Each structure stands twice: as C-alpha cells, then as structure tokens.
Structure 1
C-alpha cells in the first residue's frame, strides 16, 4: 500500500482513512481497562489525561495535525522523505486515537462522553475532511506537485487521481463519522436516561 501511496494520491487517501478511521477504534477497544487503570494510577498522569481526552481538546489536537499535514508543502515533503512520511502516519494514528477516545473509551477514569456531546463532536469532526475532500475534488488544478511527476497506476492523470482522492476523503470519510453518529443517536433515543454511547 505504501508504494502505491507514493505514486497515487487516491491510494494515499485510502491508506489515511484506514490509519485514521479504522485502526484507532480497534486499538482503543483492544486495551484492557486494567492496563489503562494501571497507567492512570498516578494522579498527575490521570489529571493530564482527563484534560486531554475531552472532545474539545482532541478536536483541536487532531485537526491541527490532520489539516497541517494536508498543507501542500508539508504533504509533498512527506511524499519525498520516507522518515517524514513515517512521522506523518505516526502522528495521524496517535492523534486519531485521541479523537476516537471520547467515543470508544473503556476506561472508567476517562469515560466516554455523553451521547449529545458525541453527536455534536462527530458532526464537527466530519467537517475538516469534507472541506479538504471538496477542495481536492473541485480545485481544477493539481494541489500536490509531487504527484505530477510520477507514473500513476491505471493511466490516470494527476488531476483525475486528485479528484478521486478528494471523493474518497469526502464521502467514505464523512459516512463513517455519520454512521457512528447515527448509531449513537438511535441507542440514545431508544434508551432515554442511559448516558452510554456506542
């Protein structure tokens, strides 16, 4: 996948969706609560974690990283330099773990947010990929010059590849956020008074 991602923006977007929307929830759900409790036993660590793992804080942290890496200069640097590319992916995964924590937390010390807060949070989380996806789709010019100079699979032009990348970020990315939001809504709607999320 990494080889394709270096020559195809659309394949790179598929890779990013996997790293941001699929891997982090699986990591969170795989952490035994006992291990988390052990790590959070220290009062100072717990206080910092309780401050960071809030919807507002993780929204700011995650989207600063997400949007920052999609600035053309940063993105092209990640394509040209494998160490920077690895850093991009590590920061995507770590910040995405933060962003999914309020939704999927199993830690009593840092519980899931309330359904109302989560629905609002997920709606706002869907906006940055929607805006960037729409920009990639409708820009009318190639935003990332690194992709102009490479031979792409399937004979696609750099412009067509970028438009497909934008649609991948915009539609499947947005659908995942709205899918989780919908599940939370119906669970909340069917259990009035229950403060649990997904």
Structure 2
C-alpha cells in the first residue's frame, strides 16, 4: 500500500470528521473558563478570602500544564479517534486523565483554596472518607478494572451519557486515590509519609496490573466497539491496537508511579539521614513570620 492510498484509507475511515469533531470547541471553552477562574481566584481576587495568598510561579506553571493535558485528552483528536476508532488512543486518553492530571491539579491549587472548597461540613466528611488510603486505592482500581471488562465497556460505549458519567466518576476517584500521595492539605489526617507512602504507591501499581494484563495478554480482540470500527491503518489491526492500548496504559502508569516513588524515596531517605545527625548538626528550624513578629511583637 503506497502512501497516497494509505492516506486515502485514513481519510475515509475518519468519516470526514469536522473541525468541531476533532478539536471540541465546548471543551476548549471549558478549559479557558478553568484558566480564567484559577488566575482570578489565585491572583487579584485572592484578597477577598481570609488568609489567602497568591499562587506561586511553580503552581501557575503546573496548572497551565494540567490544562494542556486536560484539553489534549478531552478536546483534541486523541479523544475523537480514541472514542470512534483506536482503542490505543482511548487508553492514552485515560492514562492522561487518571495518572498525569490529578497530581498536577492537586499541587497547582493553593492549600487555602482547597480548604475553601471543602469548607462545607458534608464535603469535608466525604473527603475524609474518600481519601482514606485503603478506600481510595480499592475504589479507583476496582472501578477502573470493571470499566475494562468487555461487556461493561461495550455497554457504556453504546450510551454516550453513561460513558461520560463513568468517566467523571473515575476521574473523581482518581483524585481521591492521588490525595494521600500529594496531600494538598497540611492538616489532612489521612496524609501518608515515608515507607507508608511508598507502600501505598506500590500497592496501586499492583492493583491496576490485572486490568492491563487482561488487555495485553488476551488471545483475541475483546471489545466489539473497536472490532466494528473502521481500520485506520493497515499495519494496526484491532488486535494489535488493543494490545498497544494495554501497553500504553501500563507504561504511562509505570512511568508516573516510578517517578513519584523515586521522589518520595529520595525525600524519605534524606529525612532519615537528617534525623540520624547529632542535634548540634541538624539544620535549624525555619520560623514562620506572623503579623506580630513582623511588627516587633512577641
């Protein structure tokens, strides 16, 4: 198949997708609204909130990166082709939404704003329950695994509204799963530290493995949704696309979890070495300034 015929096949398989299909103006608008709200709340409007401080440069960069990833996953051709033609792109979309996006958002939003969001008592109670490490890990990984059971996946794919609801639930549980790792609230009783955090990250990696293994090592195509879809590339049939999707998911998950594990282990090891130093060699604690000390009071 020469390149001209190959491109013709891709074009016809894409069904003449429009600009709106490929680039989702509604998601583009939503992303823009998120950006405006964030930079107003953490910028000029932060003075309207008690004990609020502007977002740092690092937090702003992380939030912009998170918005780029969100739009890439939900509003770019990754979403369109992943939903209609390529399981591998669908898995790439999921990898971005559930493994890359949540920690970036949790780190990008200032602590005072998280405290403000969860100020209502019922939300605070829900947060406390949903971010218990055991609950958070089991809930996300169980829902994720159920989603990829073939008859559940195909049933959801036939109903766009149910698919959207399931994705929203998965995204929310992904945030709760990441919460004990990133711990955006310093007074959160469920935050983990040291070896407990390492064990929690490792456990999440183990819990998600069966779903990836089911896809990667299946002997036949699993999802009727993609068996019936037009084949965009001659070299990538339904079975190969399915296996590629499982590999993409596992690689992204391993890359993200591995990076976080390395970072957490480094900080834990550094703290352990510091704690082993004699008292006279340990760094002095950093004193936080208060209004009284700044004015010369006690």
The partner residue of 2:208 within 118, 123, 129 is 129
Q: Counterparts in 2 of 1:98-177, with a 5 A limit?
A: 98-110=176-188, 112-155=191-234, 156-177=236-257
Displacement after TM superposition at 1:128 (Å): 3.3
More relative contact order, 1 or 2 (CA 8 Å, 6+ apart): 1
The alignment covers a number of residue pairs equal to 195
Unaligned runs of 5+ in 1: none
1:109-146 CA distance string (max 9 Å, x none): 32631121111111111123322222211111111121
The partner residue of 1:87 within 162, 165, 170 is 165
Unaligned runs of 5+ in 2: 1-77, 276-298
Q: SS of the residue aligned with 1:191?
A: helix
Displacement after TM superposition at 1:48 (Å): 4.2
1:3-53 CA distance string (max 9 Å, x none): 111211110000000010111112212222112223444556534423331
Q: For residues 193 and 114 of structure 1, do their structure 2 counterparts lie closer, same or farther at Cα, with a shift above 3 Å needed?
A: farther
What is the rounded CA distance, in whole Å, between the counterparts of 2:87 and 2:261 in structure 1? 28
The TM-score with structure 1 as length reference comes to: 0.88
The TM-score with structure 2 as length reference comes to: 0.60
1:57-98 CA distance string (max 9 Å, x none): 101221121112111122112222211221122112111110
Kindly indicate whether residue 142 of structure 2 is the aligned counterpart of residue 70 of structure 1.
Answer: no
Kindly indicate whether residue 81 of structure 2 is the aligned counterpart of residue 4 of structure 1.
Answer: yes
Q: SS of the residue aligned with 1:192?
A: helix
Q: Which has the higher helix share?
A: 1
What is the rounded CA distance, in whole Å, between the counterparts of 1:45 and 1:146 in structure 2? 37
What is the rounded CA distance, in whole Å, between the counterparts of 2:181 and 2:231 in structure 1? 37
Q: Which has the larger radius of gyration?
A: 2
Aligned to 1:13: 91
1:154-174 CA distance string (max 9 Å, x none): 222111111111111222212
What is the rounded CA distance, in whole Å, between the counterparts of 1:58 and 1:130 in structure 2? 17
Check whether the contact 1:58–1:99 (CA below 8 A) recurs between aligned residues: yes
Q: CA RMSD in A?
A: 2.1
Between 1:41-50 and 1:160-169, the stretch displaced more is: 41-50
Q: For residues 31 and 160 of structure 1, do their structure 2 counterparts lie closer, same or farther at Cα, with a shift above 3 Å needed?
A: same
